[in-house]
Structure formats: C-alpha cells, structure tokens
Amino acid sequence: MSAELRFSRSDSRQSDPVASGAARSTALARRCVAQGWPVHPLAAGRKTPAGNCGDCRTHIHPPAACPCLQAGRWCHGFHAATTDPDLVSRWWGEHPDFGVGVSCGPVGLVVIDVDAHPAQPPARDRILPGIPIADHVDLSGLANGFHTLAVLAALRGRPSPVDDEGTLRVRTPSGGMHVWYRAGDARRWQSSVGSGRGRGLAWQVDVRAHGSYIVAPGNRTRDGAYTPVGDIRTPAVLPAWLAEELERTGHLQAQKLPAPRSAPPRALQAVLAVGGARGRSEGVLSAVLAPVEACGQVDQGAGFSDALNRAAYTLGGLVAAGRLLRDQAEEALRDVAMRVRPGQDRRIGQIIHSGFTAGLKRPLHGTGGGR
C-alpha cells in the first residue's frame, strides 16, 4: 500500500490535538477518503458527531429532507458523510479541532466493536445471544467483550477476530478494539448501535455497519487515541463464519417469510405411502423431516426456509387428517430444524407456525390405508 494511504502511528501520538491544526485533521480525513470511506466531522475532542445547526436542532426532520445536506453542511452526523475533497478541506480547514468519523453503510464496512468496560456479566442466556451456555461450563474470569468473542470463536473452531492480523484493527482509548471488515457480497449488514435496533453479536460486542459510523483510525479524543494495531491498514473481507453469526443474530434486514407451500406431488405421495404401509407415525415423520435434515449437510443456504415451510405445511395437513398428533409433529420438526440451524429459534418458530396454520386448513387423507 502506498504511504499516503497508511494511518501511521504518528497520527495518533500528537501530544497537543490542536498543535498541527487543520493540516493534521484534514490529512486524516483525506486519508480516509483515499480509501473510499465517506467521512463526517466529530465534535472536538469527542467520538460523537458535530452538532447540527440551529434550524436542525429546533425543527425536527428526517435527514433526507434536510436542506443542509444539499448545501454541503455537516448536519445529521453520518448522513452528511462525503468523499468530496473540497468539502473535506472546507469542513476541517474551518474547524481544525474536529475529529473524523467514517460512515460504514455506503461502502459496506462491517466493524466489530469490542468493549472492555468493567461490568458484571449478564445471565448465561445473554452472553451469546441464541446460544445457551450450560451450567457446568466455568465462566469465572469472563469480564468483557474480548472474552465473549473468544468464546464464540472457540465454539465455531475459529480464531477470535481480535487476533486477525489480516485486517485493520484499531485499539480504542477505553481499551477496547475495532476490528474492520468489508462485506464481500451485496448483503447489507445492519448495526447494533447508533440508529440500528439493539442486537449485539455477544455481550460487550456490537456491530457497526449500515445505519452507523465508526471513529477513524488515528483520530484523537480527550480520552486518548484510536491507534491501529499491527501493519495492516485496510479491512479484509468479512469471514464466512462471522457472516453466518451476524445473520444468526439478526444483523441482516428482516426477510419476508415464505408463503405457505404444499409439498411437491411426488414427495406428498411418498409420505402418504409410508403412512399407509407402516401405519406408524414414525415413518410419516421420517419422510417429511428428511428434506429439512438434508439442509444440515451445508452451512447455509440449501433452501432451508422453504424446506422447513413445506414440512410444516405437510405435517399440519397430516395432523388435520388425524394421521399424526400435533404436539409430536411440531416437537419433532422443531428439534430437527434447530439442530440444522442452531440459534435461529425465533425464525424457525415463525416458519413452523405459519406452515402449520396453513396446513391445518387442508387435511391430507391420502390413499392406500389413510384414515
């Protein structure tokens, strides 16, 4: 990487944050823009955006309708972020004490924000959302986000992102760390801070992506510097395993549930034939659950939602026809689904409920021994 794109350690070691004035602050903003990152001013000595103008403070309005943005002013925080070098020169030239924030969403940045705040750990079911931690697991010594992220990574057989020497990592003044990645595809990841809904990756581990911003590497506040760690100054592509965890914890925009669909004719006839020949609910369940279990052969995709929906619809129809007991059928389907896609309890429950509700309206009596 060329020298002008590097965030050198000297950027974060200025003893006087005003000493080099516009030259230092503008240079930092320009280095971010050179990376393609949209920047916006942070309040002097703070990690929060510079304040709105008087009109924007007095008259509440959505950023998209604000004339200030069109006029090249910095109101509304990351909504005003720019890669325009002229605006950068004007904003930081006029206010050399401004800090530099980077808007994550427009360029697909996904920053894992690891905190190290001294606090009492929460209940076990809140340490890793969606992943229960058994009582026999010793959690003594667990004290911050570094620990919870390490636990999550260990469960997946992966190194912790804070140890990822292949991407940009930034030590924060409070002792935390920002681990920078970039989306490797068109998926739009959501924040768990800022304007995003609360959905942490783990206790004391948040995500800054669409709908949020991150303090630029090399920035200095009254609490200290945001200091790059190691030699890498560019974000690597978000690792696949971490993307799966972000999807599991709700960091993708909510997707519309699939409409209830019946099983294909051949599959349905096979299910009914099993029930008629054996006359046993176990045989029927095995046939219906097989496509859902097959999704467990791959990490993601494989039409899991559609397969689960079809199975729920079919089981609902068989329950309505008196061929299965509802509690037995729902419990079996839920157990398989959660084994195939652990941690997706809520969505699994929604799909099963939707499919069963529709299936119960269409009894599947079948032929060849059906009731």
* Average pLDDT per 10 consecutive residues for the chain, totaling 371 residues: 41 45 82 96 94 88 88 93 94 93 96 93 89 86 94 93 97 97 91 63 94 95 95 95 92 59 44 42 74 68 74 88 84 85 80 88 61 34
Contacts of 319 (CB under 8 A, 6+ apart): 325, 326, 329, 356, 359, 360
Report the alpha-carbon distance of residue 196 to residue 252 in Å, rounded.
11
Residues 6+ apart with CB under 8 A from 259: none
The tokens describing 137, both together, are 């697991």
Q: How far apart, in whole angstroms, are the C-alpha atoms of residue 227 and residue 230?
A: 10
Task: Provide the residue ranges of all domains of the chain, joining segments of one domain with +.
Answer: 3-248, 265-359
pTM above 0.75, yes or no: no
Q: Which residues, including other chains, have CB under 8 Å from residue 153's CB and lie 6 or more apart? A: 159, 160, 161
Q: Are 35 and 203 in contact (CB under 8 A)?
A: no
Query: Any idea what DSSP says for residue 140?
Result: T
Amino acid (one-letter) located at 158:
R
Return the ∠ at Cα 185 (arms to 49 and 36), rounded to 5°. 40
